[in-house]
């Protein structure tokens, strides 16, 4: 089908997703019981005060009007203002994005650094001690809730053996070392479950590849086993792994949200939950859209990676 067409399709698809998400969240948020105006003013506010505030916030207009107004706003990059603070939604989100992105990025890196080598070693030494150990560890990793891993890490490294800070986050601008110290534990809690799944996938994919005919051809050409494994086998084995890494990005993102709570980190996830509690519509909408933007972008990246390693996408079938 050609690389360009494929990517164009994926980009178009991404926009559709974001649009659907935005629309869905708009209506979903308004379906949440609870009046933001009332919540802002407190329980004993007068009815007039509430309705005045509602008027001011534009909440009394018909739904479709609100919707189109909002869509127009988004198109210009204006996500509105938070109901509860004075900031614009964008500013509010920007303030909390860095921790979330840091944890996600480091978490993903940790996952890949562990999963890929472990999976390969496991497959090559199938049923031997290396495989056994790696399999046990990966099974444990996928059986534990990410936030629980976080709690255990917290107890271990912040309490029993206090080498790392327990709570909070330090921006990278204030120094790489403190930033890393604060990010490493949450990133581990996020990366280990994700990595466990990737390791299993790498292992089974590598095992399949090892049995393929072209590996035998490579050996018949007189290449040594290391070369056969890494030059002929690896790329083939990675194809399904990349696919599933993309599919499971949702797991990664979910993990980050929970872990932010455990470590008391002021990130996107925590902001989202607090906003839902407070019925801060604009922030909820903004946060969901931003998260989905990030998510869709990450997926697109995975797609590009996929086209790079699978030549059948880039170069079509037989002539």
Partner 1 sequence: MSESLLEVENLHTTFGTERGDVHAVDGISFRVEEGEVFGIVGESGSGKSVTALSIMGLVDAPGRVDADAIRYRGENLLDASENEMQSIRGGEIAMIFQDPMSSLNPVMTVGEQIAEVARHHGDYGESTDFLSEMKRKYVTGTATGSRSWQRAVELLDTVGIPDPEQRAQEYPHQLSGGMKQRVMIAQALAAEPSVIVADEPTTALDVTIEAQILDELLSLRDEFGVSVVLITHDLAVVRETCDRVAVMYAGELMETAPTRTLFEHPSHPYTNGLLKSIPKVNDDREWLDSIEGNVPDLIDKPAGCPFRDRCDSAFELCQKPLVSYPGEGVDHEVRCHLYNDAVEVDGDEAVAVADDATEIIEQRSDAGRPVGGESL
Partner 2 sequence: MSTRDRLLNAVDLSGRRVFGIRTDLVERFARVLGRDLRAQVGFTIVVLFLLAAVFAPEFAPYDPMAQEYGILQSPSLSSGHPFGTDSFGRDMLSRLMFGARISLAVGLGAVTFGAAVGIVVGMVAGYYGGWIDDLLMRTIDVMWAFPWLLIAIMLVAIFGQGFWNVLFAVGFAYIDDFARLARGEVLAIREEEFTMAAKSIGLVDREIIFEEVFPNTVAPLIVQFTVFSARAILAESTLSFLGLGVKPTTPTWGALLGQGRGFITQAWWISIIPGIAIMITVLGINLFGDALRDAFDVKEADET
**Residues making contact with partner 1 (CB under 8 A):** 212-214, 216-224, 226-227, 230-232, 235-236, 239, 309-312, 315-319
Residue 258 · residue 146 · CB < 8 Å? yes
Does residue 32 touch partner 2 according to CB under 8 A? yes
21 binds, among partner 2, partner 1, none (CB under 5 to 8 A by kind): partner 2
Instruction: Please identify which residue in 80, 107, 110, 147 interacts with partner 2, judged by CB under 8 A.
Output: 147
Q: In this structure, what token pair is assigned to residue 10?
A: 């994926």
Smallest distance, partner 2 to C-beta of residue 310, A:
18
Smallest distance, partner 2 to C-beta of residue 32, A:
5
Does residue 164 touch partner 2 according to CB under 8 A? no
Smallest distance, partner 1 to C-beta of residue 316, A:
8
Residue 190 · residue 146 · CB < 8 Å? yes
Rounded CA separation 177/40 (Å): 40
Q: Which stretch binds partner 2 (CB under 8 A): 61-69, 91-99, 147-155, 184-192?
A: 147-155
Contact footprint for partner 2 (CB under 8 A)? 16-17, 20-21, 25, 28-29, 31-33, 139-140, 142-148, 151-152, 154-155, 159, 246-251, 253-254, 257-258, 261-262, 272-273, 276, 288, 291-292, 295, 299
């Amino acid at each position: 089908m050609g690389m360009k067409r494929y990517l164009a399709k994926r980009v178009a698809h991404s926009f559709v997703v974001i649009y659907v998400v935005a629309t869905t969240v708009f209506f979903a948020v308004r379906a949440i019981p609870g009046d933001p105006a009332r919540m802002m003013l407190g329980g004993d506010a007068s009815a007039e005060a509430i309705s005045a505030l509602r008027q001011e916030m534009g909440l009394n207009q018909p739904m479709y009007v609100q919707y189109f107004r909002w869509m127009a706003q988004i198109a210009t990059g204006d996500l509105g203002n938070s109901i509860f603070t004075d900031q614009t939604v964008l500013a509010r989100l920007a303030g909390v994005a860095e921790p979330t992105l840091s944890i996600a990025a480091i978490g993903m890196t940790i996952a890949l650094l562990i999963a890929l080598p472990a999976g390969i070693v496991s497959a090559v030494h199938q049923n031997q001690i290396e495989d056994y150990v790696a399999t046990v560890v990966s099974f444990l990793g996928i059986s534990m809730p990410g936030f629980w891993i976080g709690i255990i890490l917290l107890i271990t490294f912040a309490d029993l053996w206090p080498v790392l800070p327990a709570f909070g986050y330090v921006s990278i601008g204030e120094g790489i070392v403190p930033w890393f110290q604060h990010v490493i534990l949450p990133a581990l809690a996020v990366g280990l479950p994700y990595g466990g799944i990737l390791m299993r996938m790498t292992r089974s994919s590598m095992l399949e590849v090892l049995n393929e005919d072209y590996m035998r051809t490579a050996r018949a050409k007189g290449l040594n086993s290391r070369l056969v494994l890494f030059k002929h086998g690896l790329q083939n084995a990675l194809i399904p792994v990349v696919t599933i890494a993309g599919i499971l990005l949702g797991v990664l993102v979910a993990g980050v949200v929970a872990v932010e709570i455990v470590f008391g980190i002021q990130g996107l996830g925590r902001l989202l939950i607090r906003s839902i509690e407070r019925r801060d519509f604009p922030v909820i909408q903004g946060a969901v859209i931003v998260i989905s933007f990030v998510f869709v972008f990450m997926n697109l990246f995975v797609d590009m990676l996929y086209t790079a390693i699978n030549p059948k996408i880039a170069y079509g079938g037989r002539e």
